[in-house]
Amino acid sequence: MSNTIKNTNFQFPGQLSVYNGKVRDVYTLENDLVVMVASDRISAFDHILPKGIPYKGQVLNQIATIFLDATKDIVPNWLLASPDPTVSVGLKCEPIRVEMVIRGYLSGHAAREYKAGRRTICGVEMPEGMKENDRFPEPIITPTLKADAGHDEDISREEIIANNYVPKEIYEQLEAYTRALFQRGTEMAKERGLLLVDTKYEFGLKDGKIYLIDEIHTPDSSRYFYADGYEERQAKGEDQKQLSKEFVRQWLIENGFQGLEGQTIPEMPVDFVNLVTERYIELFEKISGRKFEKADNSNITARIQENVEAYLKSK
């Protein structure tokens, strides 16, 4: 198994603070800059799994870079440069607490809610008579309220505005950006023979202006189906062939873990870890149309430190 980057402890020039997320470590620097390191950690059911996934951070960072560049005409984003295969440098923004989730199909969390008999999610009605992975008549926005710890909470548009988590005019702009971004992502996926099933977007504010932040359209934030054979599989009631993290969640469920109290995270065997790497690389190549070139991982931390310092000196 290749080296992985599980935890980071960098000291970059002008560094002020560091925040360790589930997958990314965010270093705040002087001059309103942030350095975001995409680790090889993998999370599911709001738990970080014990083993890192080789090249996962590189895949996520490079896919996000492609899509941020491809959508900057829709909404300004935080990204300035990617000086290392696993690193992005960009503008520091004040994160908006509401995460914008948009779903084109009845899958994942929405499907689990539907199967439990619920027909409303985040205040949005879901039609009767749907099967898992059916396409919604129109994409639905199902926002979540970002929690300080544990699970993010489903929340409705009305609750967001009534509690002033986001001012009404800003929230309406977030919805408009979310629909436009999802449409662009859908079109780009279609060109590659994929269906963008659902995804999430995070936004921030800088000088009163909305910016798209974090990653977009990666397998950690999105779900993709293969377009070829989708209708046939639905007609037969078969599982869809997908490129996302959902198969990791399914493996965990089959091994008795859904993030519930008292449950223990199962140990991922090496063969499964390698399979996850292959899936991530497959998605990169499928969605980008580019061959994935594995970075030199013999000393990942030294490589990142050197590349980031070189970039900062060039500024």
In the chain, the domains with their CATH numbers are 15-93+269-314 (3.30.200.20), 95-243 (3.30.470.20)
For 11, other C-beta atoms within 10 Å of its C-beta total 8
pTM of the model: 0.89
Nearest of 265, 214, 283, 246 to residue 61 by alpha carbon: 214
The pLDDT, as a whole number, for residue 152 is 79
pLDDT tens for the chain, 315 residues long, are: 468 999 999 999 999 999 998 889 999 999 999 999 999 999 888 888 989 999 999 999 999 999 999 999 999 999 999 999 999 999 999 999 999 999 999 999 999 999 999 999 999 999 999 999 999 999 999 999 987 655 678 999 999 999 999 999 999 999 999 999 999 999 999 999 999 999 999 999 999 999 999 999 988 889 999 999 999 999 999 999 887 777 898 899 999 999 888 899 999 999 999 999 998 898 899 999 999 999 999 999 999 999 999 999 997
How many C-beta neighbours within 10 Å does residue 31 have?
9
Q: Which two tokens stand for residue 83?
A: 């000086």
Q: What pLDDT was estimated at residue 133?
A: 97
Residue with tokens 């990142």: 304
Contact 36, 55 (CB under 8 A): no
- In order of 35, 39, 76, 201, the CA distances from 271 in angstroms are 32, 20, 41, 32
What is the structure's pLDDT at 243?
78
Q: How far is CA 261 from CA 144, 230, 269, in A?
A: 22, 36, 23
b/e map 72-88, b = 16+ CB within 10 Å: eeebebbbeebbbbbbb
Distance from the Cα of residue 232 to its chain's centroid: 28
CA atoms within 13 A on the CB side of 201: 28
Tracing tokens 């129109």 back to the chain, one arrives at 138
Q: Which pLDDT value is given to residue 151?
A: 65
